[in-house]
Amino acid sequence: MKKYDRYDTSSLPEAQFEPSSRGRVLKNKLRIKRKRGIDEAESVVLKTAIDKLLNMYDENHRFTAADIKTMHKIWLGEIYEWAGEYRQVNLSKADFPFAAAKQISKLMNEIEKGSLSKHTPCNFKSLERVIQALAEVHIELILIHPFREGNGRVARILSTLMAFQAGLPMLNFRDITDKKRKEYFAAINSGLSRNYEPMEKLFKKIIERSIKAKSVEI
């Protein structure tokens, strides 16, 4: 079974990967074959993408499924031909199955009419309300996992844009990408039963750390 970024991608044909990458790097425009190399390439263009997106959406914008595809395209369009397009294969991680590929379009339409409509624009006056919005939208998008690559970062891009609508500083996600990964995945699992409280606690910590870091900067 071939692996890519810890996903079970055994349903992907060999032609989907870069030759000599041992099934670890998807076909890309840059012909990068090493996992570390593709990770670095994705990180380099991420900051530029966030800066561009921050100038595209204001505090009164209601995000849509099309916006999420745009975020993915702007970020990874220079690397993957399929950037901005929903995946056509099923994915799972650590025996956790994400939404079936054939259901993604329907589910993204549902999140647009549901969580995105309810929680954006995220310019609520109450911080508690902002945290609720961030947690629910983040979980629902992660559970769908609409793209072959970059789902976690696209979800964090969207959270960043929503946080800016609320007047918050750039969010520091180090806790959920490093120290608290187990807690983060447990919070995602809780979201299966629409229990967003564990993720709300994580976002509260993320916001507190981000505000503290901003005040130190000033």
Per-residue pLDDT tens for 60-110? 999 999 999 999 999 999 999 999 999 999 998 877 889 999 999 999 999
The residues near 38 (Cβ < 8 Å, ≥ 6 apart) are: 25, 26, 28, 30, 32, 79
If you write DSSP's letter for every residue of 148-211 in order, what string do you get? Answer: SS-HHHHHHHHHHHHHHHTT------HIIIIITHHHHHHHHHHHTTT--HHHHHHHHHHHHHHH
Taken in order of first residue, the domains within the chain and their CATH numbers are 3-217 (1.10.3290.10)
pLDDT at 217 over 90: no
The pLDDT value recorded for residue 176 is 79
